[in-house]
Amino acid sequence: MENIITGKAYVLGDNIDTDQIIPAEHLVYSTSDPEELKKYGHFALSSVPIEKAGLPQGKTPFIVGENYQSEYKVVIGGSNFGCGSSREHAPLALQVAGVKAIIAESYARIFYRNSVDGGFLIPFEGNEKLNDKIKTGDEVEVDLNANTIKNLTSGNEYQLRPLGSVYDIVNSGGLFNYARENKMI
């Protein structure tokens, strides 16, 4: 895994739940069929209400057209990101859509664990609320070693909480791979 993630930010509000990340009606696709797996990326964040998204007049879709990958590599969320059901498809959908990291004020525990245990995404927590400081479309740079996010558009840099062993688990491809690599199982 790269130590620096650079790309556009997609900014969301508070309490984004797993049904908004990947709506329940799209859980019918096989995760083992490569073509069907793309549907998870295509429908990622397709049902976030405008009032929760914090998007400029709701005119910034996460996925454009028939694509399954987004131009946004970093999702910035508010508090309680990933609340709702224990759907492990939520972090998977964001990963398939091309998201490399999420930075939120706080997470629902089950979403955080699914992100890490499945090796899907790096779930950073900010030391402060960032979804009112970074805008959708801003170019950002996340430094995994320094635990920082720099808004390349504005020049502002923010400290993130250290990942600890989370980085190693995600980098290994999930908890079971990490345990095997470290001869725990």
Give residue-wise pLDDT tens across range 21-44: 998 899 999 999 999 999 999 999
Residue 57 in this model has a pLDDT that exceeds 50: no
Distance CA 12, CA 159 (A): 19
pLDDT tens per residue, range 121-173: 999 999 999 999 999 999 999 999 999 999 999 999 999 999 988 999 999 99
Structure tokens at 26: 């799209």
Q: What CATH number should be reported for the domain holding residue 28?
A: 3.20.19.10
Number of domains making up the chain: 1
Residue 9 lies in domain = 4-181
Residue 40 CB contacts under 8 Å (≥ 6 apart), including other chains? 22, 26, 29, 31, 68, 89, 92, 93, 96, 97
44-64: average pLDDT: 68
Residue 108 CB contacts under 8 Å (≥ 6 apart), including other chains? 17, 80, 81, 82, 83, 84
pLDDT for residue 116 = 95
Distance CA 43, CA 51 (A): 19
CB 43 within 8 A of CB 69: no
Residue 161 CB contacts under 8 Å (≥ 6 apart), including other chains? 124, 125, 126, 127, 147
CB 41 within 8 A of CB 48: no
pLDDT for residue 1 = 59
Distance CA 101, CA 104 (A): 10
71-86: average pLDDT: 93
**Predicted TM-score of the model (pTM):** 0.91
